[in-house]
């Protein structure tokens, strides 16, 4: 293989990897920057706006990279199907882009619709015991279904959250496996790489009940 062709192939790899990275990261950043709860209706408006901007960005960048690919094929690799190969690389990039776009869009809409909750990520059927630890105090939750329903209503909160983690909730599964969530009674997480929030402290009363009985 000629040196010129090797250089061309390396350039194609670098340019198209950058192309794929840019079109995949664009919707993630665009949807991810909207961390406020703007509601279902306004969320749909923003989603439509971001989608239009994303499509325009991908189209413009695709045309630009397609032109570069074509020139590299024509001047360095010297194939007979320059445009076809150039177009194929762009199509591959766009196929990789779509799952990233759809996942970012779904995550954004789920958040605005309030449909993503902590309860969706807790495997209730596998839990045998629930233990809550607060400093040197520990309680075992007896009414597991009620407790899981209360914390399960916590809604997904986008972004990174810092808070005083007073409680550690431990889910014991099959006597061996364990899951745990840190919380202050209102915020929960990070759990499955997500944070969740309820309107009022749903854990404090369990410790108050223990003191009353105690």
171 and 209 both lie in a single domain: yes
**Final residue belonging to a domain, choices 98, 113, 128:** 113
State residue 58's pLDDT score.
97
State residue 115's pLDDT score.
77
139 and 95 both lie in a single domain: no
State residue 23's pLDDT score.
97
**Final residue belonging to a domain, choices 65, 82, 113:** 113
Residue 172 tokens read as 């014991």
CA distance 37 to 114: 9
40 and 105 both lie in a single domain: yes
Digit-coded pLDDT (tens) for 19-33: 999 999 999 999 988
56 and 141 both lie in a single domain: no
Strands 127-134 and 187-191: what pairing? unpaired
9 and 57 both lie in a single domain: yes
13 and 53 both lie in a single domain: yes
Domain range for 145 is 118-213
Q: Which long-range contacts (CB under 8 A, 24 or more apart) does 43-50 make?
A: 43/108, 43/109, 43/111, 43/112, 43/113, 44/109, 44/112, 46/108, 46/112, 47/105, 47/108, 47/109, 47/112, 50/105, 50/108
The number of residues making up the chain comes to: 214
145 and 181 both lie in a single domain: yes
101 and 8 both lie in a single domain: yes
175 and 92 both lie in a single domain: no
79 and 130 both lie in a single domain: no
Q: What is the largest CA-CA distance in the chain?
A: 85
Average pLDDT over residues 141-147: 91
Number of domains the chain is built from: 2
CA distance 43 to 133: 38
Digit-coded pLDDT (tens) for 90-103: 999 999 999 999 99
70 and 127 both lie in a single domain: no
pTM (two decimals): 0.67
Digit-coded pLDDT (tens) for 40-93: 788 899 999 999 999 999 999 999 999 999 999 998 888 888 999 999 999 999
State residue 3's pLDDT score.
83
**Final residue belonging to a domain, choices 82, 113, 144:** 113
Residue owning tokens 């989603």: 47
94 and 191 both lie in a single domain: no
CA distance 72 to 86: 9
């Amino acid at each position: 293989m000629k040196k010129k062709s090797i250089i061309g192939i390396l350039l194609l790899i670098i340019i198209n990897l950058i192309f794929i990275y840019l079109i995949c990261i664009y919707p993630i950043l665009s949807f991810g920057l909207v961390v406020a709860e703007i509601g279902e209706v306004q969320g749909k408006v923003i989603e439509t706006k971001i989608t239009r901007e994303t499509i325009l960005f991908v189209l413009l960048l695709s045309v630009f990279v397609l032109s570069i690919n074509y020139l590299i094929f024509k001047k360095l690799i010297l194939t007979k199907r320059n445009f076809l190969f150039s177009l194929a690389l762009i199509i591959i990039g766009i196929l990789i882009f779509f799952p990233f776009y759809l996942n970012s869009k779904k995550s954004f809409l789920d958040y605005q619709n309030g449909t993503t909750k902590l309860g969706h990520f807790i495997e209730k059927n596998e839990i045998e015991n629930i233990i809550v630890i607060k400093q040197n105090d520990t309680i075992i939750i007896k009414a597991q279904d009620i407790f899981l329903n209360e914390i399960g209503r916590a809604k997904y909160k986008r972004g990174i959250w810092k808070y005083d983690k007073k409680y550690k909730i431990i889910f014991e599964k099959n006597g061996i496996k364990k899951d745990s969530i840190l919380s202050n009674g209102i915020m929960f997480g990070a759990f499955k790489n997500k944070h969740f929030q309820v309107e009022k402290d749903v854990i404090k009363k369990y410790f108050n009940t223990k003191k009353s009985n105690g």
